[in-house]
Amino acid sequence: MMKKIKVFAPATVSNVGPGFDIMGFALNQPGDVVEAALTKGNRISIKKIYGSRDLSYNPSKNTATASIISLLKSYKIRVGLEVVIRKNMGIGSGLGSSAASSVAGVFAVNKLLNLKLSKSELLVHALNGEIISSGSLHADNVAPCLFGGFVLIRSYDPLDIIKIDYPENLFCTVLYPQIEIKTSEARKILDKKIPRHNAIAQAGNASGLIAGLITKDIDLISRSMKDYIAEPKRKELIPCYDVVRIAALANGAINCNISGSGPSMFSFSTSLEDAERIASAIKDAALSEGLRSETYISKINNRGPVVIK
């Protein structure tokens, strides 16, 4: 049996326009790293957290270790573990930071203890960790982070995860403005009721996006990426939203939307050249509104979490 392990789990883009709480995909970068080492006794402890001063060292209140605790309790496993967490993206970034730590935690322990559990079996425990951060059950970050690729959550009761095919030449450019938006707060501003015409339009766009991805119809993907539920409310929390979206579309983006709860925004394009040009343009656009930002360019990551040295 291994004594220690280190796992990388990727950032994710969720919602993807009309897919509120039901769609998401994994990125190649950024991502979080969780290290787990066996220790004597049966205590789970967090040795060190890099990249954030705000996360709890209480194992039951940290997403990485809460998911591990859920897993160990479920299988009645008593073991001592010392955990190190390396955060490579901000909390409240809209890139699934808490999901990445949660997934990395359970994935690492599954490998470390040679439990041979499937990703489907790990999912519920990763979700239990994610709830610590968001306060609600939503799998559109955890599922793509764990399974990789582009994921559709068809149902939450029972949980039904479907991996969707997508064009191989799809590039994603992400802008992460240096502000924080908490998922729990971003959910509070959403309308409790949705007008029928908006619900119909949302369902049509969500269906169109899935159809466009599967058939590799770029034009259908483009015209389907419109959100009638969350984005009209959440864009008010992002000072650079309008200028970034205009800049992305003017530089070859298929479309541009908020990633998760924001403030990160993402754009699809069909070449690395376009993706790089979009990155430069949207970074300048955000700066014109006084916001410094990070940009990431990635194809969709079909692997999910991986063991690293």
Q: Convert the pLDDT of each residue in 277-307 to its tens digit.
A: 999 999 999 999 999 999 999 999 999 999 9
Active site residue 65: no
Give the residue, 281 or 132, on which the prediction is more confident. 281
Q: Are 205 and 254 in contact (CB under 8 A)?
A: no
Report how far apart the first and last C-alpha atoms of the chain are (Å, whole number).
16
Tokens 């489907």 -> residue: 120
Under the banding of pLDDT at 50, 70 and 90, the label for residue 134 is low
Task: Of 163, 9, 198, give the one whose Cα is nearest residue 95.
Answer: 9
The average pLDDT across 15-28 equals 96
Under the banding of pLDDT at 50, 70 and 90, the label for residue 137 is confident
Under the banding of pLDDT at 50, 70 and 90, the label for residue 160 is very high
Is pLDDT at 14 greater than 90 in this prediction? Answer: yes
**Domains of the chain and any CATH numbers:** 4-164+302-307 (3.30.230.10), 171-299 (3.30.70.890)
Active site residue 130: yes
pLDDT at 1: 61
Is pLDDT at 220 greater than 80 in this prediction? Answer: yes
Give the residue, 185 or 174, on which the prediction is more confident. 174
Element (H, E) at 50: strand 44-50
Catalytically annotated residue among 65, 183, 231, 295? 183
Catalytically annotated residue among 130, 173, 231, 295? 130
Task: Of 84, 82, 83, 102, give the one whose Cα is nearest residue 41.
Answer: 82
The average pLDDT across 205-228 equals 98
Mean pLDDT of the chain: 94
Read off the amino acid at residue 216: K
Is pLDDT at 175 greater than 70 in this prediction? Answer: yes
pLDDT at 91: 83
Query: Coil, strand, or helix at residue 116?
Result: coil
